[in-house]
Amino acid sequence: MANNKHTIILMQTSHNRATRTFMDYESISQAMDGMCICALYERKLKELNPVMRNITYDIEDLYNFIDGLADLSALVYDHSLQAYLPNDRQWIRQRMLNHLRKLAH
CATH code for the domain of 92: 3.30.2260.10
Report the candidate in 30, 40, 47, 32 with the shortest Cα–Cα distance to residue 69. Answer: 40
Q: pLDDT, tens digit, for every residue of 6-63?
A: 999 999 989 999 999 999 999 988 888 766 677 778 888 888 888 988 888 888 998 8
Question: Is the pTM above the cut of 0.85?
Answer: no
Residue 41 in any domain: the answer is yes
How far is residue 99's CA from residue 29's CA, in Å, rounded to a whole number? 7
Contact partners, residue 3, CB within 8 Å, separation at least 6: 27, 28, 29
Tell me if 18 is assigned to some domain. Answer: yes
User: Is 2 part of a structural domain of the chain?
Assistant: no
pLDDT at 3 over 70: no
Length of the chain: 105
**How many domains are there within the chain?**
1
Q: Is residue 94 part of a domain?
A: yes
Estimate to the nearest angstrom the gap between the alpha carbon of 50 and the chain centroid: 24
Domain annotation covers residue 53? yes
The torsion angle over the Cα atoms of residues 34, 75, 99 and 54, rounded to 10 degrees, is 40
Show the domain range for 97: 7-104
